[in-house]
Amino acid sequence: MKILRSALVPIIAVVLALLAGALLIQLSGSSPREAYSALFEGSFVGWERFGTTLEKATPLIMGGLAVAFAFKGGLFNIGGQGQLLFGALIAGAAGYGFTGLPWIIHMPLALLLGAAAGAAWGAIPGVLKATRGAHEVITTIMLNFVAANMAEWLCTKVWRKPGDILVRTPMIEGSAEIPTFGNIPLGFLIAVAFAFGMWYLLQKTTFGFEVRSVGLNPNAASYAGISTKRIVILTMAISGFLAGIGGSIETLGVLGRYEPGFNAGLGFDGITIALLARTNPIAVIPSAVLIASMDASASLMQFKAGVAPEITDVIEALILLFVATPIIVRWFFKSRQGEEISFGANWGSS
Amino acid sequence: MNSLFERIIRLRWWILIFLAIIAFTIFAGDFRQDPTTAILAATLRHSTPLVLGALCGMLCERSGVINIGIEGQMLMSAFVGFTVTAATSSLYLGVAAGLACGMLMGAALGGLTVSLQGDQIIAGTVLNIFALGLTSFLYTPGETIHSKTPRINVGPLADIPVIGKIFFANQPITYVSLLLVAVIWYSLFKTTWGLRTRAIGEHPSAAETVGVSVAKMRYLNLIIGGGIAGLAGAYLSLEAVGSFERGMTNGKGFVALAVMIFGRWNPVGAWGAALLFGYTNAIQTQFQFRGWLTGHPQFIGMIPFIVTIVVLAGFVGRARPPAAIGQPYTRE
């Protein structure tokens, strides 16, 4: 019953968004019914398509977890895009740079190096916030642009395969690949494991309690003896770590190399997913699958119903709009208002 | 006389930085007049969307509402302005439409934060994502407009060497932005409206006791601010580029927030900060022209973003934002 009640707001948001999307499709001269049946068919009908949906859901789960974890600590990480990118890039470099290692060592090593890169990239705004009071919303988004430039430089000057005209790393070694079992990608299972791991960390450990305390009331937390600076930096680093895993899996399990542009919009999708899941790590999984199903079927929607594939971006934005619109939340959660985290609380001051 | 001297002493570092920049510009311009003038004129052009965005953020924050959605307001207005111009082939209708769209986006932010009392940061992010999604969906590649807003020379002033080319031979929105800096400075610090705006950003309940409607004033500021961000959007599509691209704001809305903080929530300060950021963009072209660092264009591309981070990290602690910022106001 409790689960049903907490699922109510996201479900209503999704339904409202789909209705508004249907109106938009109708207005643009296509049939909403055809479009939505193509959406369903393109993402869930048949094992192969279902596998593709799970594959697309993987970086979204990690991006959603990254945003959700930062949320729990009272931080708004909109730099998931840059952290994913760094994870993907470093995993790609480690994937082709180390040779002669057995799979059991090479694959986890590349995965973890990518995650560490994401963690480092995420820790920068954490340090800037903790020591200098720079708000993470601006620093993380600025670091997205820096990361894109940095990756381009590394790919052209350091890691490019001679003769390759595209800006990308060489293909990774077979020993670094994350395999797919039948239609179920192992990367998806790794992401699911991280979702449960994050739930455990937040709910069952002292560190998780400290993170949540700082998120709800940093003053009370520091009065209780928690070092808020340490928690802010660690929260951002872990958030970046999760995003970095998402990037690593994309490189090692899907693309086989780092290519720029794979992460377009992933950071923002992470925000939608985290809010849709009401920052619950387990709920991030179905939320990400939902968003992934739209991405996976966008081309089929275009083919069958003649709708521009960007309609999925609009529907996703509408979902976010409805899920973040406080009045909907307030209708159903009158009693829970005290638990809201305010991100503007320490805007512009340390 | 004495106070002027004290002022110069107090601002000595800024004056030194300013002189250093001018000296470097002349050096980068190869000690010739034309390239030097070109760099400075480009600085002013590049600063236009930033100062407009910063003015938008300032009006919102001075009245107590954080506006993270400037980026989205700009993007949406850039798109609407472009589409209207493409349909009517009138640039001025396009600019007007951009302005109106910005005001509407401002009102939307007001709805989410003032009426519904939602989290301001999330509300702004919703605007950003929404604008990105909707413009991507509605934009049809290949649509074109045939001209950009024309350059207007201000009579004989435009013939003054160097200064004339920089300040008096610009396109309309750039002139408007300069005018707005003065108007908003005057309005914020010398009028009743400005006093009320600042009061509801510092201590809304005190303002309310003397009869100022916090909600009404916040809406007003958000709508005016949105209109200014709309102008910035129209600048991007109709004045700078003459077309629309997906995500063409490219982080300018966020850089504008850093400009606002750097300028200490003051229009004149923000103008100075915007010029500094505009300069980091303008000098890139000259770098390419002189062949400096051409092997590593990515590092030059990073400069504005890194400067933003450095500014935030270096100045935020020392500049004080309005006190009531970020909190929804409920009447007691």
CATH of the domain at A193: 1.10.3470
Q: Which residue of A has its CA nearest to B308?
A: A142
Q: What tens digit of pLDDT does each residue of B123-155 get?
A: 888 898 889 888 988 888 878 887 888 888 777
Which residues of chain B make contact with A314, given a CB cutoff of 8 A? 133-134, 137
Q: Residue B241: its pLDDT value, please?
A: 85
Total count of domains within chain A? 1
**Residue B319: predicted pLDDT:** 63
- Among B86, B270, B252, B91, smallest CA distance to B171 is for B91
Measured in angstroms, the CA of A179 and the nearest CA of chain B are apart by 33
Q: A157 in contact with B at a CB cutoff of 8 Å?
A: yes
How far, rounded to the nearest angstrom, does the alpha carbon of residue B114 sit from its chain's CA centroid?
23
Establish if A45 belongs to a structural domain. yes
Of residues B82 and A48, more confidence is placed in: B82
Contacts of B295 (CB under 8 A, 6+ apart): none
Q: Are strands A184-185 and B169-170 parallel, antiparallel or unpaired?
A: unpaired
Instruction: State the alpha helices, DSSP H only, in chain B.
Output: 2-10, 12-28, 33-62, 70-88, 91-110, 120-138, 163-167, 172-190, 192-202, 204-209, 214-234, 252-262, 267-290, 297-315
CA distance B147 to B160: 27
Tokens of A325: 């619109």
CA dist A127 and A144 (Å) reads: 16
Higher per-residue pLDDT: A343 or B14: B14
| Other CB atoms within 10 A of residue B142 CB | 5
Q: Is residue A341, in this structure, part of any structural domain at all?
A: no
Confidence of residue A268 (pLDDT cuts 50, 70, 90): confident
Count CA atoms closer than 13 A to B209's CA, side-chain side: 4
What percentage of chain A carries pLDDT values higher than 90?
Answer: 31
Asked, for residue B326, whether it belongs to a domain, the answer is no
Q: How far apart are CA A222 and CA A214, in angstroms?
A: 8
Give the per-residue pLDDT at B65. Answer: 92
Residue with tokens 């709009």: A321
Q: Does A331 touch chain B (CB under 8 A)?
A: no
Weakest mean pLDDT among B34-43, B63-72, B98-107, B178-187: B34-43
Nearest-neighbour CA in chain B from A44: distance (Å): 24
Residue A63 has pLDDT above 70, yes or no: yes
Cα B212 to chain centroid distance, Å, stands at 28
Distance CA B280, CA B261 (A): 18
Domain assignment of residue B332, yes or no: no
CB contact under 8 A, A324 and B123: yes
Lowest pLDDT segment from A75-89, B112-126, B171-185 = B112-126
Sign, CA dihedral B136-B238-B280-A135, equals: negative
Yes or no, beta carbons of A153 and B296 under 8 Å apart: yes
Mean pLDDT over residues B298-327, rounded?
A: 77
Chain B residues in contact with A271 by the CB 8 A cut-off are: 125, 129
- Residue contact A134–B133, C-beta within 8 A: no
Q: Which two tokens stand for residue B318?
A: 């020392």
**Residue A348 scores a pLDDT above 60:** no
Which pLDDT belongs to residue A349? 45
pLDDT of residue A338: 45
* Type of residue numbered B131: A
CB pair distance less than 8 Å for A326 and B314: no
Question: Is residue A22 within a helix (H) or strand (E), and if so which, with residue range?
Answer: helix A2-27
State the amino acid at position A93 in one-letter form: A
Convert A180-201 to b/e letters by CB count within 10 Å (16 or more is b). beeeebbbbebbbebbeebbeb
Which stretch of DSSP H or E encloses residue A184? strand A184-185
Mean predicted confidence (pLDDT) in B185-214:
90
What is the rounded average pLDDT of the residues B248-257?
88
Distance from CA of B308 to the nearest CA of A (A): 7
pLDDT at A198: 95
Interatomic CA distance for residues B131 and B148, integer angstroms: 23
Asked if A308 reaches chain B (Cβ–Cβ under 8 Å), the answer is: yes
Among partner residues B255, B299, B321, which is closest to A347 by beta-carbon distance?
B321
Domain that holds residue B157: 32-315
Domain encompassing residue A61: 2-330
Q: Is residue A258 part of a domain?
A: yes
Which residues on B lie below 8 Å from A76 (Cβ)?
121-122, 125
Q: State pLDDT tens for residues A25-59.
A: 888 888 888 888 888 888 888 888 888 889 889 99
State whether residue A261 is helix, strand or coil: coil
Kindly report the average pLDDT of chain A as a whole number: 85
CB-closest option in B129, B298, B316 to A268:
B129
Whether chain B has a CB inside 8 Å of the CB on A29: the answer is no
Q: Which of A296, A138, A314 minimizes the C-alpha distance to B132? A: A314
Q: Do B312 and A268 touch (CB under 8 A)?
A: no
Element (H, E) at A12: helix A2-27
Given a cut of 50, whether residue A335 has pLDDT beyond it is no
Residue A247 has a pLDDT of 92
Q: Please state, in angstroms and rounded to a whole number, the distance separating the CA atoms of residues B111 and B194.
A: 22
CA A321 to chain centre: 18
Q: What is the pLDDT of residue B94?
A: 93
Q: Please state the φ and ψ torsions of residue B192, each to the nearest 5 degrees.
A: -60, -45
Q: CA B250 → CA B10, B24, B71, B310, distances in Å? A: 36, 27, 8, 19
Judged against a pLDDT cut of 70, whether residue B332 lies above it is answered with no
Residues of B in contact with A348 (CB under 8 A): 261, 316, 319, 321, 325
Average of pLDDT values for B276-288? 81
Per-residue tokens: B315: 């100045």
Taking residues B281-304, report their average pLDDT: 77
CA angle, residues A179, A181, A187, in degrees to nearest 5 = 50
Which are the contacts of B11, defined by CB distance < 8 A and separation ≥ 6? none
Q: Residue A38 has what pLDDT?
A: 87
Distance, C-alpha B74 to centroid of its chain? 10
Number of folded domains that form chain B: 1
Does residue A301 carry a pLDDT above 90?
no
Q: Give the per-residue pLDDT at A350.
A: 36
**Cβ within 8 Å of residue A88, ≥6 positions away:** A114, A247, A248, A250, A251, A258, A262, A263
The whole-number pLDDT of residue A326 equals 63
What is the C-alpha to C-alpha distance for residues A34 and A19, in angstroms, rounded to an integer? 14
What pLDDT, on the 0 to 100 scale, is given for residue B95?
94
- Judge whether A13 is closer than 8 Å to chain B, CB to CB: no
Which residue in the set B306, B314, B320 is minimally distant from A349, CB to CB? Answer: B320
- Residues of chain B with C-beta less than 8 angstroms from the C-beta of A152: 298
Of residues A277, A307, A286, A233, the one with CA closest to residue A73: A233
User: Of A127, A129, A349, which to mutate for an interface test with B (greatest number of B Cβ within 10 Å)?
Assistant: A349
Residue A20 has pLDDT above 50, yes or no: yes
Q: Which residues contact B68 (CB under 8 A, 6 or more apart)?
A: A137, B120, B121, B123, B124, B125, B127, B128, B254, B257
Which SS3 state, helix, strand or coil, does residue B328 take? coil
Q: Do B130 and A310 touch (CB under 8 A)?
A: no
Test the B interface: residue of A30, A310, A318, A339 with most B CBs within 10 Å: A310
pLDDT digits (tens, 9 = 90+) for B86-96: 988 889 999 99
Top pLDDT among A174 and B135 is at B135
Residue among A229, A267, A230 at smallest CA distance from A86: A267
Whether the pLDDT of residue B281 is over 90: the answer is: no
Asked if residue B69 belongs to a domain, the reply is: yes
Contact call for A310 and B136, based on CB within 8 A:
yes
A336 occurs within a structural domain: no
